Amino acid sequence: MTIDTTADPLGAAIKRVEDPRFITGNGNYLDDIKLPSMTYMSILRSPYAHANIRSIDTAAAASMPGVVAVIVGADIPYNPLPMAWPAGGVSGIQNNVNTPRALATDGVKWTGEGVAAVIAETPEQALDATEAIVVDWEPLPAVVDAEKATQPGAPQLHENAPNNVVFEWQVGDKAGTDAAFESAEVIVRQRIVNQRLIPNPMEVRGDIGWYNPGMDEYTVWMSSQTPHIQRLLLTAFVTGIPEHKVRCISPDVGGAFGTKIFCYADMALVMFASKLIGGRPVKWVETRSENYQSTTHGRDHITYLEAAANRNGEVQGLRVKTYANLGGRLSTIGPGVPTTLYGRVLAGPYKIPNVHCEVTGVYTNTVFVDAYRGAGRPEATYVVERAMDLVADELGIDPADVRRRNFLPNDAFPYDNPSGLGTAAGGAKIYIDSGNYEPALDKALGMIGYDGIEAAKAEARRHGKFLGVGLSTYIEVCGVAPSKWIGAVGEGWGAAMWESANIKMHLTGKTVVTVGTQPQGQGHETTYAQIVAHELGIPMDDIVVQHSDTQGTPFGYGTYGSRTSSVGSTAAIKAAGKIREKARKMAAHMLEAAVDDIEIDGANYSVKGSPDRVKTIQEIAFAIDLGFDPPEGMEPYLDETAYHDTPNCTWPFGTHIALVEIDEETGHVELKRYVAVDDVGKKINPMIVDGQLHGGIAQGVGQALWEGAIYDDQGQLLTGSMLDYTLPRASFFPNLELDETVTPSPVNPIGVKGVGEAGAIASTAAVANAVIDALSPLGIRHLDMPYTPQTVWRAIQGAKGGQA
């Protein structure tokens, strides 16, 4: 028999196979898991941002109903959490590392740091008993602003970090950049703040720890993007428990945006607690308030930006000094985000010949900052895109023309930028391998009707409105990352970033794909199935994709950095290739032909020149798996694993344009239109790509217009709930107008680049530039985000000379 292979699912807008279970309430999220004899943990968190602990009295709590155990930091013999990515890749760099412990033992460094935990029969009893713990606090002065924290006289957080400095890192050619400024025809300077954000996945974090005393083994369920990495970190670095004695499982994960990459204190705590109480499982699920206080935040940069240009608008030099707020202690890869993922990509899609970037990582009395959707690249894009508009404004040149004059030309690739992209000490180079920037810009300008904007602005002015248009012509680094490069730029544990996949085709032809990546809502069960169905010519319905369990999947580094579609998919393609080669040998044996004479067309394996002599992959799998009659030397079973280390990252790019209208009287900003032309290469599933872009754009626009975590001077989080922290809502948006150009990535067989972060990287700068453009008739050339009505009104009043 033969199988029709004309319906190729690769590239088709197929509805996600996960969605029926998610939207009918049949997902299996961490808090859905209930185990026999389960107990519940509640963590007592510091009400102070900076304090010493004189004593903790747990006696009253321990005697409350249902309490099984009360734990304080001194009870736990574990190491502090690991620092996995210090600032690195430059010679002589020093990182003054302080990471959290399972519970604080040396005082607290932010409001919300855990100091004690209660294990009880019910969540209610655990919470009630937690409130009965008495801590004798010695409050200390706090500092929450990264720049102020480095000044003389600021409160000091850690003995090993004078002036609260974590590291002082730099990249690029300082002398060359300084020379470019000395000879510049025009220089623009601006202090810009990239405010702190709270990532807000729909599902908060949680863990279940279970110590099995019979086996002397642990199982840890965690809402995580990286179960394999967490097993490594929790065993080899934190607890000292042997790695083979721990199994980590991430069930369905309801969003993460980066916050679930990291190793958290609560993971170690549930392991310790379950063993302490004799092997009953211990569940901990954070509240939304706890998520705001003690799960990672994002961004929080204060940057001094300088750009040097000639009168034609060509930027000759970019000089950047950034204070990166990393919180009271360091999260797992906190220092890597504002260094490698920021400074090394500052030049964007532009041929800026001289770039120098200094970054000071700073401790403050705030919760730790780490990767949040885009991770460093939105911050870099914001800097360089504001720089382009500042140059345009200074010279009176249209911002679109300034970008055009600075774009890397199409013959520039492969391109190694001057901000140290490929110059990490001793490491492999990465380089921008492809790009074609002007068509995306032209398409987006056409969609927004750029030529008609000036007339529309004049019309708006007649109605007390300011209209503004803003461009963001971005590139991003996705598909992280070649292992040799990521090692060289500072991965502290010497880790790699390859990916893995295993394919098993069973006797019935039904196929199980297991992968080392870890979805959080991206639809991997659909996209991997599309790829494997394409590679093997089998129906998608015959494929199941499994992930998330260190016991059942090959080691993988997890999902973040828009890496699964490029790195993970290539591992699956390689595994499928091994399946095909073994099947080809078996087909040759079954059809009594030479291996080289077997032709493969989808699922059909036939003899060259004799199309009627054919076996399907299902028939071949049956024969291999049974193993009655293998060819000489062939092992039974169609079961192949592949590991893939990518030779390079991928480089999506595009142009986003925002059109905003500002009410002069109130300062209210309305997003009127949003156009995005993205080049994410080939698409595995265009519907999923659109969804990723919609969500990413919404989050990026959220930063520009509404979002911002605010701590007061004492380190209290004023935006401690969704009543005060504004998340973007569908009703805040116009219809998003998406289009594409397609420049396939040369780095993987599909030509895909990754799209998880593109929207968030591009959109903040587009809206910011639009708001500034709208206010430019008043002489305003910069304003820090978010553009709340109050902020914009005050800027308008100030510009008019009114009282504000």
Partner 1 sequence: MIPAAFAYRRPASIEEALGMLAAEPGAKVLAGGQSLLPLLKLRLAAVDTLVDIGRLPGLRGVRELGDGRLAVGALTTYSDLLESPAKHYGVLRDALPHIGDVQVRNRGTIGGAIAHSDPASDLPACLLALDAELVIRSAAGERTTGVDGFFEGAFTTGLQPGELLTEIRLPGPRDDAGSAYVALQQSASGYALVGVAAVVFSGPRNGIAGAAIALTGVGEHAYRARAVEAALAGSDGSPASIAAAAAHATDGIEVASDIHADRAYRTAMAEVYTRRAIEAALARLR
Contact residues: partner 1, CB under 8 A: 123-124, 127-128, 287-289, 665-666, 668, 706, 710, 718-719, 721-727, 732, 788-790, 793-794, 803-804
In the complex, the smallest distance separating the C-beta of residue 318 from partner 1, rounded to whole angstroms, is 34
**Cβ proximity to partner 1, 554 vs 667, nearer residue:** 667
Biggest CA–CA distance in the chain, Å, is 92
In the complex, the smallest distance separating the C-beta of residue 29 from partner 1, rounded to whole angstroms, is 16
In the complex, the smallest distance separating the C-beta of residue 726 from partner 1, rounded to whole angstroms, is 4
**Cβ proximity to partner 1, 781 vs 794, nearer residue:** 794
Q: Is 602 exposed, middle or buried (0-12, 13-18, 19+ CB in 10 A)?
A: buried
The separation between the first and the last C-alpha atoms of the chain, rounded to the nearest angstrom, is 80
CA distance 483 to 645: 7
CA distance 201 to 258: 9
In the complex, the smallest distance separating the C-beta of residue 63 from partner 1, rounded to whole angstroms, is 17
**Cβ proximity to partner 1, 291 vs 618, nearer residue:** 291
In the complex, the smallest distance separating the C-beta of residue 705 from partner 1, rounded to whole angstroms, is 8
What totals of helices (H) and strands (E) does the chain contain, helices first? Answer: 19, 25
In the complex, the smallest distance separating the C-beta of residue 173 from partner 1, rounded to whole angstroms, is 42
**Cβ proximity to partner 1, 68 vs 315, nearer residue:** 68
Taken as a whole, the chain contains a residue count of 804
In the complex, the smallest distance separating the C-beta of residue 185 from partner 1, rounded to whole angstroms, is 41
In the complex, the smallest distance separating the C-beta of residue 510 from partner 1, rounded to whole angstroms, is 42
**Cβ proximity to partner 1, 452 vs 802, nearer residue:** 802
Cis peptide bond N-terminal to 141, omega within 30: no
**Cβ proximity to partner 1, 315 vs 771, nearer residue:** 771
Q: What are phi and psi of 291, to 5 degrees?
A: -60, -40
**Cβ proximity to partner 1, 595 vs 727, nearer residue:** 727
Strand partners, 476: none
In the complex, the smallest distance separating the C-beta of residue 290 from partner 1, rounded to whole angstroms, is 10
Inter-CA distances, 431 with 171, 477, 481, Å:
16, 10, 12
In the complex, the smallest distance separating the C-beta of residue 538 from partner 1, rounded to whole angstroms, is 44
CA distance 516 to 559: 9
CA distance 748 to 722: 41
Are 56 and 237 within 8 A, CB to CB?
no
**Cβ proximity to partner 1, 292 vs 450, nearer residue:** 292
**What does R_g of the chain's alpha carbons equal in angstroms?**
28
**Cβ proximity to partner 1, 134 vs 722, nearer residue:** 722
**Cβ proximity to partner 1, 74 vs 723, nearer residue:** 723
Q: Is 507 exposed, middle or buried (0-12, 13-18, 19+ CB in 10 A)?
A: middle
Sign of CA dihedral 273, 274, 275, 276: positive
**Cβ proximity to partner 1, 196 vs 403, nearer residue:** 196
Give the start-end residues of each E strand in 476-552.
499-505, 511-515, 543-546
* Spatial CA neighbour of 475 closest among 679, 303, 750: 679
Provide the token pair at 747: 């780095």
State the number of CA atoms in the 13 A half-sphere of 171 facing the CB. Answer: 27
Consecutive H or E run containing 767: helix 758-775
CA distance 377 to 380: 5
What's CA 3's distance to the chain center, in Å?
Answer: 41
In the complex, the smallest distance separating the C-beta of residue 139 from partner 1, rounded to whole angstroms, is 22
